Chains A and B, each alone.
Chain A
Amino acid sequence: METLTLNSSDLKSQEYFLNMGPQHPATHGVLRLILTLDGEVVKNIEPDLGYIHRSIEKQCEYEGYKQIIHLTDRMDYLSAHINNEAVALAIEQALEIEVPERVKVIRTIMGELTRIASHLLWWGVMGMDVGALTTFMYAFRDREMINDIMEETCGARLTMSYSTPGGVMFDLHPNFQKRVKDFIPHLRRVIPQYDELLTGNVIFQKRMKGVGIMSHEDAISHGASGPVARGSGVSCDRRKKDPYSAFASRDIQFNEITFTEGDNLARYNVRMKEMLESLNIIEQLIDNIPDDGIQAKTKALIKLPKGEYLQRVETARGDLGVYIVSDGKKNPYRVKFRSPGFSNLNALIEIGKGHLIADLVAIMSTLDFVVPDIDR
């Protein structure tokens, strides 16, 4: 029964255990960390997962390919659309379907909106974690606009289930373009406020700078991806490295944000700048959405040819890999979701050591965990 892998005989005389989570305000869900502390200094971290493990991979083995998609919403629920897209892309890759250009553009815009929404939520919670409580409401105000856009087109605010193999569920709502165009200048206006409120704040800077440093080599070795790795100078943006959807079919100008410091502030800045880059991407696409249908021809019952397929996309948290092994039947033989959070959690074990509890909370916040994404 006992899941502690450490016992008190391993402790040095000054040390004690602290059980952080599964119910703890800073673990953003049900992550459990067993900390070994000396005073307030973290000596060892041991994660204990599985409090929200729903065995999505096993479930997928009993579902048809179309039916997998709605399960991925529930993994990393903050980048639900990008998860949907990943599975859809993997299936399209296997079936060698060419989806209409409109679908690609819609997916990309939706994906970037999702990314902004996810980063906004992260920003709000980041502020909460370092004690600035007001950031949360400001971020949620702006995120709400994206949720409304999503609800209007996809019919759901968080778990959209919007991409399907070969297309998207619904066509864009007539209001979509107008709403997005309203949102872009709004966010452009509030992000400087965010910077004044939190980024520039001397207390925040002192809390972030030089804390939780992850070197370039460590980031690669830990399998870190997304903003976490880019904060350590690893260029790993899938949108650049192996473009998919509109990133492949259109010539989209955007920068991959990398910082070399590898500390909390670098990871923070990556996400703040990424929001603006995402706005750029949306701006380039929103005015010319082609009109060539929203669904490629697919069979009602999808069967993938025998083989194995890997699709990697850039979610808000990093590199999501959808690995499907098919044996030619209507159900996949094995589906693996390589979630970015899982590898990033691995990094926490090492970079959290030697810091104070308060710093550990800040580090966890900049690693941006979504626990269902880790547990799957």
Chain B
Amino acid sequence: MNNELKAEIENQFDQAVFDEETSKYLIVEIAPASYLDLMQTLKTKGFDYLFSMTGMDWGKELGVTNHLENSQTGEMIVVKVKLTDREKPELPTLEKIWKTAHLHEREIYDLFGINFKGHSVMKRLLLSEDWEGYPMRKDWHDETKMIIR
């Protein structure tokens, strides 16, 4: 199944990078431009359950790791998208495809500062509006609020 899927994705999205080493699930890394298309395609292929959206800071790039599940077979696929622009990172929203993306994207916006274009309420969720910076980024540092041993 994995290989079939891989081939199909490869056909449609030539810039997709696959990674089967680091995780027990198939990881697809995709450029931001074809991110929405890929997710849409995956949904039609039966991956209808957006398990989680994880904001990531890989040091240089920011990004999102999506865990998708096929709610029938229980199969999982991981979709990663990396953004090199740390100043104004932008991604298209998945809200239209999965309703659960609504809160997940707000959380990622809040903690990582990735702006999801087309999201209905792109506001801070956990932190207050006057918070400066995005605390889950690796370069975020606060002498008073963080004590690192």
Contact = CB atoms under 8 A, between A and B. Distances in A.
Given A220-B71, A310-B25, A350-B99, A338 B52 contact: yes
Contacts of A345: 103
A47 to B, nearest CB: 8
Contacts of A349: 102
Nearest to A321: B52
Contacts of B136: 55, 57-58
Contacts of A55: 135-136
A321 B71 contact: no
B22 interface: yes
Give the dominant DSSP class at B's interface: loop
B90 interface: no
Interface in A222-249: 222-224, 234, 236, 241-242
Interface in A279-337: 306-310, 312, 319, 321, 323, 325, 334, 336
Contacts of A323: 52, 54, 65, 67
A276 interface: no
Contacts, number: 101
B131 to A, nearest CB: 10
Interface stretch (B2-10, B34-42, B43-51, B81-89): B43-51
A49 interface: yes
Contacts of A241: 74
B148 interface: yes
B128 A1 contact: yes
Nearest to B140: A58
Nearest to A310: B67
A350 to B, nearest CB: 7
A46 B121 contact: yes
B70 to A, nearest CB: 11
Contact of A336 (B52, B126, B149): B52
A125 B109 CA distance: 33
Nearest to A2: B129
B49 A50 contact: no
A32 to B, nearest CB: 11
A48 B48 CA distance: 27
Contacts of A375: 126
Given A55-B135, A223-B51, A307-B23, A3 B99 contact: no
B74 A49 contact: no
Interface in B10-42: 21-25
Interface of A: 1-3, 5, 46-50, 53, 55, 57-58, 62, 218, 220-224, 234, 236, 241-242, 306-310, 312, 319, 321, 323, 325, 334, 336, 338, 342-343, 345-347, 349-350, 375
Closest 10 CB pairs of A and B: A223-B100, A50-B126, A338-B52, A307-B22, A336-B54, A53-B126, A221-B99, A346-B103, A308-B23, A222-B99
